[in-house]
Chains A and B, each alone.
Chain A
Amino acid sequence: MYKGLTIIFGFLFIGEILSEVFNLPIPGNVIGMILLTFALLFNVIKLEDVEREAEFFIRNMSVMFIPPGVGVISYWGLIKSQAVPIFGALIISFALTLILTAKFVELLRGGER
């Protein structure tokens, strides 16, 4: 277990360092994810050394979003004063992007079959 955790937190840490040192707009965790993917592809890291620990984190990702979600209430005043454009735009943009992007990719995939 500690081997897997060392790898995961190690890549997170490396990602954070790179993000800060090079002043990148990409957060450390995304850089860490990209680097770990390459480390697996080039056999620097073995899948079975991190698989169990990684799957635990991924399976439980939903609960990690609850505290910042509760934080939305702190900004209620700001949201309320512009409620119509904010919620209207969020809903319209969400539905359009989700469905049209899915249809677009499905079309591209169908065209090549």
Chain B
Amino acid sequence: MNALGIFLTIAVFYLFSKLYEKKRAFYLNPVMLSIIAIASILHLTGISYETYMESAKILSFFLGPAVVSLAIPLYKQREIIKEYSKQIFAGIVFGGTLAILSAFYAAKLLGGSESVLLSIAPKSITTAIAIGVSEKIGGIPALTAVLVILTGIFGNAIGIEMLNAFKIKDRVARGLAMGVTSHGLGTARIILDDELSGAVSGLAMALNGVFTSLILPYLLKLLQ
């Protein structure tokens, strides 16, 4: 059953994308529904996650070239990004710090264990950077990976709807907030709506990953 995982992923995503095209409601987000549906199918049929991943991992492999490809919208929107570079950098410092502090303190207030606090702090940055940061600060890298993906799913499913609900119209502000909050999954969604927002989001994701990996170890020393 070599093709099982890739067939299942593409087929389920195709069906939910068709549904989403008909009725554009946030709760019909095809990424979120596909994950739930596939997890349920595996659970009901007893197929192991490892069997599924044997071929499904080919799809995630293409995240590598996809992230490299974000250079293209960045280049095409270079004039606007240069014009607003100060606001973009200020936004990354503000949003990147807020993402860490709000996650750390909210988890602490709600009774999270020490390892949960440390694992959740880097949850707004792209998976590969977050895992490395988590390891460095004493979190559980596997738990961090899960929390990063869950944060990304929120952004992909309801990020745009929330920005609309709060009447945020500025395209640079929308893209920056999505990239800083929900990394690649947020970028993947907002770039389908608007190329400028998507370019800013991709840039914010990259820079916030670098920013967070640099400041988080020092920030935690101050917090503890």
| Residue pair B112, A105 in contact (C-beta under 8 Å) | no
Q: Are B59 and A61 in contact (CB under 8 A)?
A: no
- Complexed CA–CA distance, A90 and B147 (Å): 8
Contact (Cβ within 8 A) B71 A66: no
Evaluate whether A26 and B209 lie within 8 angstroms (CB atoms) in the complex, with A65-B149, A66-B9, A97-B95 already known: yes
CA distance A85 to B206 in the complex (A): 28
Contacting residues of chain B (17-60) with chain A, CB-CB under 8 angstroms: 30-31, 34-35, 38-39, 42-43, 49, 52-53, 56-57, 59-60
Chief secondary structure at chain A's binding surface: helix
Interface pair A67/B9, CB less than 8 Å apart: yes
CB distance B176 to A54 under 8 Å?
no
**A47 and B72 in contact, given A33-B67, A98-B177 (Cβ under 8 angstroms):** yes
Bound CA span A91–B162, Å: 12
Q: Contact at B129–A25, with CB atoms within 8 Å?
A: yes
Size band of the interface chain B makes with A: 35 or more
In the bound complex, do residue A37 and residue B9 qualify as a contact, i.e. CB atoms below 8 Å apart? no
Once A65-B184, A90-B120, A93-B123 are accepted as A-B contacts, the answer to whether A70 and B76 lie under 8 Å apart by CB is: no
- A47 vs B69: C-alpha distance when bound (angstroms): 11
Interchain CB contact under 8 A, A88 and B110: yes
Q: Is B220 an interface residue (CB 8 A)?
A: no
A62-B188, A101-B95 known; A89 vs B120 contact (CB < 8 Å): yes
Among A36, A78, A92, A108, the one with the most B-chain Cβ atoms within 10 Å of its Cβ is A108
Q: Which residues of A contact B181 (CB under 8 A)?
A: 94, 97-98, 101
Q: Are B151 and A103 in contact (CB under 8 A)?
A: no
Tell me whether A102 and B168 are in contact in the complex, defined as CB-CB below 8 angstroms, given that A93-B106, A94-B182, A96-B102 are known contacts.
yes
Residues of B that sit less than 8 Å from A by CB = 5, 9-10, 12-13, 30-31, 34-35, 38-39, 42-43, 49, 52-53, 56-57, 59-60, 62-76, 78, 84, 86-88, 90-91, 94-95, 98-99, 102-104, 106-108, 110-113, 116, 120, 123-124, 126-129, 132-133, 136, 140, 142-143, 145-147, 149-156, 159, 162-163, 166, 168-170, 172-174, 176-178, 180-182, 184-185, 187-189, 191-192, 198, 202, 206, 209-210, 213
Q: List 26 A-B contacts (CB under 8 A).
A: A30-B129, A33-B74, A33-B202, A37-B75, A58-B66, A58-B69, A61-B188, A64-B66, A66-B31, A67-B5, A67-B52, A70-B49, A72-B35, A74-B49, A79-B143, A82-B113, A86-B116, A90-B123, A93-B123, A94-B155, A97-B98, A98-B178, A104-B94, A105-B177, A106-B168, A108-B90
